[in-house]
Amino acid sequence: METTMETNAAMPAESPLYNKRNYLNNGYSLRSWFLTVDHKRIALIYLASITFFFILGGFFAMLVRLELLTPKGDFMTSDGYNRAFTMHGIMMIFFFLIPSIPAVLGNFLVPLQIGAKDLAFPKINLLSWYMYIGGGALALFAMINGGIDTTWRFYTPYSTGHASGYVVTTILGLFLMGFSSIFTGLNFIVTIHKMRAPGLTWFRLPLFIWAMYATSLIQILGTPVVAITLSLAAVEKGLKIGIFDPAYGGDPILFQHLFWFYSHPAVYIMILPAMGIISEVISCFSRKVVFGYSFVAISSMMIAVIGFFVWGHHMFLTGQSQFAGLIFAALSFLVAIPSAVKTFNWTATLYKGSISFEAPMLYVFGFLGVFLIGGLTGLFFPALGLDRHLHDTYFVVAHFHYIMVGGAIMGYMAGLHFWWPKMFGKKYPEGLAQAGAVATFIGFNLTFFPQFILGYMGMPRHYHEYVPEFQFLHILSTAGASVLAIGYLIPAICFGWSLLFGEPTGPNPWNAKGLEWEKSLSPPPTENFSEIPVVTEEAYNYPDAEATVVTRS
């Protein structure tokens, strides 16, 4: 290891194309994987686990889309349909989206990007995965035994009263998963505070790190509230005591307040990490520093903070007072400001950049488009009068899928392609991957754009029968979902192909800036760096784009 690394020289020239002593071949036993405390290995275990839950959630999405092909409920019973979309929501939100970028790319990259050997608490990191998979196992158990039909929101008094199935078991699973998420966030915050390499000041940090920091704040401050809230619902369901139950004078609206206190910020747990990835990728493929770096960094923190004060916009029509509604509406509009700061700054980064169109960058362009639509349609809801019309329609469904699928998953895909050569030291087939990005973009929009129109026309969510006029748009949506499925299949093929036949890439195939590219090998050694790097320059210090001819493979 020591021989291959020169701290200050540009590495690529004299570094091996494929680092032979790396974290991947440091032990082959099951034990060396499932009892590992190496953040990179844990990231890979997470990658496998969340992919499993993504496929599961996708399966339920497919059931839902199939049912909605026809106006009549002829594929599933109403009850079956309720269970299908509930399981879709629970699997996708709690077991895929929330852990996705933090637990996989965050785990892998946080130490590498700040020049540390590992996260601050490697054993707790491993424990997080066990809590996650334990929670997942409980949710799976409930699913196999018929699932639940409470929707992912578990609104009382239904969830604590008549709802059948393993509601309490599922909640227990979410509780475990929640604390796994808390420990991941806690680990990141401590690591970012205490383990940065010499010279790596706060405003030299990669923007992905800023995004992970903001996300972690939400994880440690929001998640415990939903943990106690769902626990109370589980206790109420299991022991029949009264907390939210109106039969005792309890207040279901209180449950909604506590639930959304976490579950609105949870959206930012999904989208902020994606935004971090966008900043990294857009800078690399424009060969420019991110425009207004410090504004983009601070806007992540602003989103995290403001995000805690807007939850009431989910409750305009469920019994919250008009006055509270007004306040929450005003606060909700505020979130648009830091989000817009990011979008404008990304666009400005492209300006006069030396732009190239590799797969990660295609996902970024996809992200910019759909995030714009998803973000702007989000502003329809705090407009109180309009919300009355759009509440609980497919307009809402379309909006949050634009953010959570269009935004978060495209960001995740961009990141996965971008750092894949770092993680495995091998190339993926670029052309095929680009086709995957395009298919994802087309499939995604075909699936969800018709849902805006459906919702505006009055199609309510959670219904499995509808009036025949809506059928055409539903068919479009289902067709789009099929294309989207192909869009997800293609990267899977690319990555599989890469693992089997991919050529070695060398440590920095994108000629990117950042410690993980410039100071570590591909795949990185277990200790990440042969010696702790010293940082002497700002983030994204690309040579002037216009003056450089960039050669990339």
- The least CB distance from residue 520 to other proteins, in Å, is 15
Interacting partner of 358 out of other proteins, Cu ion, none (Cβ under 5 to 8 A depending on kind): none
Interacting partner of 195 out of Cu ion, other proteins, none (Cβ under 5 to 8 A depending on kind): other proteins
Q: Which is nearer to other proteins, 103 or 439 (CB)?
A: 103
Please work out the total of residues on this chain that contact Cu ion, with binding judged by CB under 5 A. 1
Nearest CA to 406 out of 352, 364, 347 is that of: 364
Tokens matching residue 23: 């974290």
CA geometry: angle 143, 144, 150, nearest 5 deg: 25
Q: Which is nearer to Cu ion, 378 or 480 (CB)?
A: 378
Q: Which is nearer to other proteins, 250 or 491 (CB)?
A: 250
Query: Cβ atoms within 10 A of the Cβ of 264, count?
Result: 22
Under the binding rule (CB under 5 A), the answer on residue 474 touching Cu ion is: no
State the DSSP H helix or E strand holding residue 134, giving kind and residue range, or none if neither.
helix 122-144
Question: Among all residues, whose Cβ is closest to Cu ion?
Answer: 264
Under the binding rule (CB under 5 A), the answer on residue 427 touching Cu ion is: no
CA geometry: angle 66, 95, 74, nearest 5 deg: 15
Q: Which is nearer to other proteins, 239 or 547 (CB)?
A: 239
CA 308 to chain centre: 18
Interacting partner of 388 out of other proteins, Cu ion, none (Cβ under 5 to 8 A depending on kind): none
Residues 6+ apart with CB under 8 A from 452: 377, 394, 395, 398, 399
Under the binding rule (CB under 5 A), the answer on residue 401 touching Cu ion is: no
Residues 315-354 that bind Cu ion (CB under 5 A): none
- The least CB distance from residue 189 to other proteins, in Å, is 6
State the DSSP H helix or E strand holding residue 441, giving kind and residue range, or none if neither.
helix 430-457
Under the binding rule (CB under 5 A), the answer on residue 399 touching Cu ion is: no
CA geometry: angle 322, 324, 330, nearest 5 deg: 100
Residue 514 DSSP label: S
Provide Rg for the chain, Cα atoms. 23
Nearest CA to 212 out of 264, 258, 280, 261 is that of: 280
393 bridge partner residues: 460
Interacting partner of 352 out of Cu ion, other proteins, none (Cβ under 5 to 8 A depending on kind): none
Interacting partner of 251 out of other proteins, Cu ion, none (Cβ under 5 to 8 A depending on kind): other proteins
Interacting partner of 207 out of other proteins, Cu ion, none (Cβ under 5 to 8 A depending on kind): none
Tokens matching residue 156: 């009382």
Interacting partner of 264 out of other proteins, Cu ion, none (Cβ under 5 to 8 A depending on kind): Cu ion
Interacting partner of 247 out of other proteins, Cu ion, none (Cβ under 5 to 8 A depending on kind): other proteins
The dihedral sign for the CA sequence 291, 100, 460, 470: positive
Report the distance separating Cα 281 and Cα 279, nearest Å. 6
CB neighbour class for 162 (10 Å; exposed up to 12, middle 13-18, buried from 19) = exposed
Interacting partner of 241 out of other proteins, Cu ion, none (Cβ under 5 to 8 A depending on kind): other proteins
Report the distance separating Cα 379 and Cα 57, nearest Å. 28
Q: Which is nearer to Cu ion, 33 or 155 (CB)?
A: 155
- The least CB distance from residue 374 to Cu ion, in Å, is 12
Q: Which is nearer to Cu ion, 313 or 426 (CB)?
A: 313
Tokens matching residue 474: 């539903």
CA 462 to chain centre: 24
- The least CB distance from residue 218 to other proteins, in Å, is 11
Q: Which is nearer to Cu ion, 47 or 331 (CB)?
A: 331
Residues 227-286 that bind Cu ion (CB under 5 A): 264
- The least CB distance from residue 227 to other proteins, in Å, is 6
Residues that bind other proteins (CB under 8 A): 116-122, 182, 186-187, 189-191, 193-195, 220-225, 227-229, 232, 235-236, 239-243, 247-251, 254, 257-258, 531-532
Q: Which is nearer to other proteins, 230 or 390 (CB)?
A: 230
- The least CB distance from residue 307 to Cu ion, in Å, is 8
What are the start-end ranges of the E strands in 17-102?
none
Q: Which is nearer to Cu ion, 186 or 258 (CB)?
A: 258
CB neighbour class for 160 (10 Å; exposed up to 12, middle 13-18, buried from 19) = buried
Give the residues lining the site for Cu ion (CB under 5 A). Answer: 264
